[in-house]
Amino acid sequence: MKKSVWSDSTNLASFEQLEKNTKTDVLIIGGGLCGLLCAYFFDRSGIDYILVEGDKIASGTTKNTTAKITFQHGLIYDKIIRCYGKEAAQKYLMINKKAADIYEKLCKSINCDYEKKDSYVYSVRDRKIIENEVNAVNSLGFRAKFYDTTELPFKVEGAVCFPDQAQFNAQKFIAEISRNLKIYENTFIRDIAPHTAYCGNAKINAEKIIVATHFPFINKHGNYFLKLYQHRSYVSAFENAQSLNGIYVDEDEKGMSFRNYKNLLLIGGGGHRTGKYGGNWNEINNLTQKYYPKANLKYQWSAQDCMSLDGIPYIGQYSKNTPDLFTASGFNKWGITSSMVSAILLCDMVRGKKNDFSDVFSPQRSILKEQLFINIFETTASLLTPSTKRCPHLGCTLKRNRLEHSWDCPCHGSRFEENGKLIDNPATGDANI
């Protein structure tokens, strides 16, 4: 039961393991959507590359997406204008719109259940913040609309609509674009040195290296252990529920999201910081019993997302001292378009080509944000908690996740099976449970 509808609908190709030393111009570490898109564009540009994945491609966060293709990322535009100015917000919108346009073009020749849908961010508590977002987006030249009613079965204070967004089956998309790419699976990178990555008994020499591993795992550069935390969320798919004409997301981090896939209604919610407690599937089931009492549960799964300090991803040079090492992370639950944006920017960067949008996503931007101090507090509290069960990443105390039968790190989001086997990074090894 606890698997996504995407995993049950698609079989991906398998790739061999890397077992000998090799050399390439560009090494991509991580076989999720972000890394695969980078590989896809390198392949079509004639750039020498290889992609390595520690498990199977699309076996991590990518397989648990809700697969929305949208440049409406919560209430991000009003926030960016207030924090960084109108020009930064304009660049964020333009590059994400470009990403959505590329998906539309690619999906015309790929059978991946691509559908155009209007996308809505709604609030059940605050009309004003929705109005502010509408005004912010319209000031950037994009046509957003305000609605005080929706097709959802409960009252909202307001909703901002982006027309002509989309949804698709990401696994079907990946099955097509990954064909004939230079990929090695079951090739776990345990360490990186300048121009070299180490896996098992082999090493890979590369002029440029892209770390697309969801959470950047090299601690000695970039301070990502301060700049990121991870957030769990839950999805259930129901038959005999509502057929929606749009895609819906609550502006509140603890709210619900809704979209259809074929005859299923996908409801997401119950989220919480990894290593903490939240509503999980129980919260979704309670809502479903109230509004869709005849619905039948068909699938349920969970996802994990990297959250940045300011709601904008980190895409670019890993740190100021590593000119040939790059990364993409902190997608803040908008991994589909953020993966495409990453591929656009990183493909330019590794070729030394200037991109006018890259400054908005720079991993070297200021970290003096409120979330930084929350992250520091959580890490300090965990490090000071007496326990023998410690995360091998930076030594934080692991918390038992009884619902998902795992041990989770509240500092940086590493997760382990009950026997200590690694599930989610940034840890690069198993835990001593």
34 falls within a domain? yes
Paired with 233 in beta bridges are 303
pTM over 0.85: yes
Same domain, 253 and 385: no
CATH number, domain with residue 255: 3.30.70
Q: Is 1 exposed, middle or buried (0-12, 13-18, 19+ CB in 10 A)?
A: exposed
- Mean predicted lDDT score pLDDT of the chain: 96
Same domain, 236 and 290: yes
Same domain, 280 and 405: no
Please write the tens of the pLDDT for every residue from 4-46.
Answer: 999 887 889 999 999 999 999 999 999 999 999 999 999 999 9
- Any residues with CB less than 8 A from the CB of 61 and at least 6 apart, and which? 32, 214, 303, 304, 305, 335
Please write the tens of the pLDDT for every residue from 63-98.
Answer: 999 999 999 999 999 999 999 999 999 999 999 999
Same domain, 201 and 243: no
Q: How far apart are CA 177 and CA 173, in angstroms?
A: 6
Please write the tens of the pLDDT for every residue from 168-194.
Answer: 999 999 999 999 999 999 999 999 999
**Does position 1 have pLDDT exceeding 70, yes or no?**
no
Question: Looking at residues 164-169, what average pLDDT do you find?
Answer: 98
Q: Where are the alpha helices (DSSP H) in 58-181?
A: 76-84, 86-107, 127-139, 170-177
Joined together, the tokens standing for residue 70 give 């949208």
Same domain, 181 and 318: yes
- Domain assignment of residue 400, given as a range: 370-424
Strand 296-307 with 229-239, pairing: antiparallel
Distance set, CA 327 to CA 79, 91, 265 (Å) = 24, 20, 34
Same domain, 179 and 297: no
CATH number, domain with residue 315: 3.50.50.60
Same domain, 191 and 247: no
395 falls within a domain? yes
Q: What share of the chain is helix, strand, coil (3-state, %, to 5)?
A: 25, 30, 45
Please write the tens of the pLDDT for every residue from 320-357.
Answer: 999 999 999 999 999 999 999 999 999 999 999 999 99
- pLDDT at position 101, please? 98
- pLDDT at position 8, please? 81
Same domain, 217 and 316: yes
- pLDDT at position 129, please? 98
Into how many domains does the chain fold? 3
For residue 149, name the pLDDT band (cuts at 50, 70, 90). Answer: very high
Q: How far apart are CA 303 and CA 301, in angstroms?
A: 7
Same domain, 194 and 316: yes
61 falls within a domain? yes
Same domain, 235 and 287: yes
420 falls within a domain? yes
269 falls within a domain? yes
Please write the tens of the pLDDT for every residue from 252-273.
Answer: 988 999 999 999 999 999 999 9
Same domain, 374 and 395: yes
Same domain, 54 and 182: yes
103 falls within a domain? no
